[in-house]
Amino acid sequence: MHQILKSDIELGAVVPNIGTMLRNNHSRFSSRIVYQEKKSDGNYHGITWSQLVKNIESIAGNLYDRGFRRGDKMVLFSRNCQEMLEMELAVMASGGIAVPIFANFKEDTAELLINHSDATWLAVAGQHQLDNLGKIPAVRSIFVFDTTIDDRFSNLIPYSDLLVQNNSGEKLIDTTIDPKTICLNMYTSGTMGIPKCVQLTHENILSQQAALDILWDISENDRFLSYLPWHHSFGGIFELFTALYNGATFSLESSYGKDPHSIFENWKLIKPTVFFSVPKVYQALYDITRKNKEAEEQFFNSGLKFIFTAAAALPEKLSVEFEKRKINVVEGWGLTETSPCCTLTDHKLKRETGVVGKPIPGVMLRIAEEDEIQVKGPNVMVSYYNNDEANKDIFTHDGWYRTGDVGKFTPSGLKLISRKDRIFKLSNGEKVIPTDLERQIELKCHYVQYAVVSGSGEEYPVALIFPNKKLLENPDYELTPEQGCFCPRSLNELGRCLTGCLHIANNRIGQKFAKVKSAAIIMDELSLDHKTLTPSMKMAPKNVLDKYRAHLLNLYGDNVPVDEEVYVIELEKELNKKSCTK
């Protein structure tokens, strides 16, 4: 008998579809700003709910006149912008299926996903995306958000043509769409291989918001400052629809999250009341403000209700900075397949490393064979599109979704352990959970950007470590996370310093067989181009191990030439001075 964990709170009524959400909010918040961007004058300018819905109606009507019908798919190949928001909502609210993909995909990946999606319509931001279209099947029309003209495409249509008033569009914002109708196809990050296409319904997305509405106090008076990309579930479902559903003002961060100084300048303008981000960004923002009292007060502004962190736990020291100012730190867990949120931490409980909270209303969890976490609820996807292999065993015979994550239940909620497909066996049959040690390494030294532990079928585990090259080149001598830590300025200095940190990380792992015996610090950067990072900037372990296999072979005793400068640490033999270059 499986133990089941669920919320004590009933979910209650769910808004049936996106069209109804738009109509309701148009009625409630007509003159309020729903979305805004920073313009050339340095100020934010936005669009009201009244204008947004009017634009969506025009787009829906003009798409219909061009042949777009219920169930048709529109690929949105663009970075976040007003045009993408309007197009996506128009497609979904009129019965179509939106398919957002990463704006900077190269030709091979863009071609792969567009072809796989079977979309017959396409919208692009501009020339950059047109240059990366590759060999795609004939789509009926390609809508361009900017003023690009490209003679290679005979079916290019300016987005402005869709904004011409079309009164028939009012009837196309459909409030009668069945909640179980698919409205969004979202590709996963692909951390362990080729992205899968997740089919999500109106109910999947809006049941999530009904649950959050019970747990959070968010209203039309709240302000979001956002950079998270909409092709990814954290930004494009969780954050975006939290703002839209509640009528809050959504402000696009002008550097798209790439420049902490830009984020901070926009932070001062918007004064966000909630903020969704990842630990690295919170740390960068705090580093900007910690030497300046005025900047610190602006960052920890009195209106900031809570921050949400994902991808990893917020470091304890940084978490304390928020909590001592009575700003709640919230974490959660979920996947694209679960729309995405399944659990949230309770700010009234002391935070525990790895614990991601209890299920939101309507969601049930259970721990099954091999400690796999399984989910059931209105947030769970229909299936993967056009992927029989992935669909084969993704649901149990009694309808639970197999997440592939491994965990256990604690009094504070779900504790994550690892991805099931990351756990490997050594040659002696012992199971190793690599993420335990990877987390220890990354937390121990802020000069480590990524770490991956490997050893399937071998006698012992080893680690590949990728340093933060920018920090090495420009060390911050005042930023020392632990007493006794000094700021290395080169690979050799980092290697000597990290040897001690690896010993400490190893000692925090209980089983002797799970400790790494050697590690390679590789002077190279993981990247989207080499597919060692996903579009959401997560490490893709399988691709990393494939690309740097020569380094793995050398750690196990081979002598394979390598292209990258590398520092090898031999923990077992205490040889902490072994260094080699290409």
In the structure encoding, which two tokens stand for residue 520, read together? Answer: 């390679």
- The helix or strand, by DSSP H or E, that contains position 276, with its residue range, turns out to be strand 274-277
Q: Which of 102, 81, 108, 395 is nearest to 253 (CA)?
A: 81
For residue 195, whether the previous peptide bond is cis, meaning omega lies within 30 degrees of 0, is no
Residues 6+ apart with CB under 8 A from 173: 19, 22, 23, 53, 56, 57, 60, 93, 94
Q: How many Å apart are CA 146 and CA 93, to the nearest integer?
A: 23
pLDDT digits (tens, 9 = 90+) for 108-121: 999 999 999 999 99
435 φ/ψ angles, rounded to the nearest 5 degrees: -65, -25
Helices (H), 16-130: 18-29, 49-65, 82-93, 107-117, 127-130
Predicted local confidence at residue 379, as pLDDT: 98
Predicted local confidence at residue 138, as pLDDT: 80
Look up the pTM and report it: 0.91
In the structure, what pLDDT confidence band is assigned to residue 351 with cuts at 50, 70 and 90? confident
Which residue, chain included where needed, has tokens 């040659």? 427
Pairing of strands 121-124, 73-77: parallel
Q: Check pLDDT > 60 for residue 479.
A: no
CATH label, 423-580, candidates 3.30.300.30, 3.40.50.1000, 3.60.21.10, 3.20.20.70: 3.30.300.30
Q: Which of 537, 51, 44, 100 is nearest to 253 (CA)?
A: 44
Sheet bearing 33-38, strands edge to edge:
44-48, 33-38, 249-252, 223-226, 274-277, 306-309, 328-334, 341-344, 358-359
Q: Check pLDDT > 90 for residue 447.
A: no
pLDDT digits (tens, 9 = 90+) for 187-230: 998 765 678 999 999 999 999 999 999 999 999 999 999 999 99
Predicted local confidence at residue 116, as pLDDT: 95
HSE value, Cβ hemisphere, 13 Å, CA-based, for 498:
35
Comparing 190-194, 547-551, 562-566, the range with the smallest average pLDDT is 190-194
Please compute the mean of the pLDDT values over residues 353-372 and round it to a whole number: 94
Compute the chain's Rg from CA coordinates: 24
Q: How many Å apart are CA 24 and CA 117, to the nearest integer?
A: 31
Residue 415: burial class (beta carbons within 10 Å; 0-12, 13-18, 19+): middle
- The length of the chain is 582
Mean residue pLDDT of the chain comes to: 92
Inter-residue contact 92 to 184 (CB < 8 Å): yes
Which residue, chain included where needed, has tokens 């409630």? 28
CATH for 49-177 is 3.40.50.980
pLDDT digits (tens, 9 = 90+) for 500-512: 889 988 988 888 9
Share of the chain above pLDDT 70, in %: 95
Q: What are the sequence ranges of the domains in the chain? A: 49-177, 423-580
What Cα–Cα distance (Å) separates residue 79 from each residue in 51, 100, 230? Answer: 22, 9, 8
User: Distance from first CA to last CA of the chain, Å, rounded?
Assistant: 56
Predicted local confidence at residue 1, as pLDDT: 60
In the structure encoding, which two tokens stand for residue 361, read together? Answer: 């209303």
Please compute the mean of the pLDDT values over residues 570-576 and round it to a whole number: 62
pLDDT digits (tens, 9 = 90+) for 402-414: 999 999 999 999 9
Q: Within 10 A of 401 (CB to CB), how many other CB atoms are there? A: 20
Q: How many Å apart are CA 484 and CA 283, to the nearest integer?
A: 20
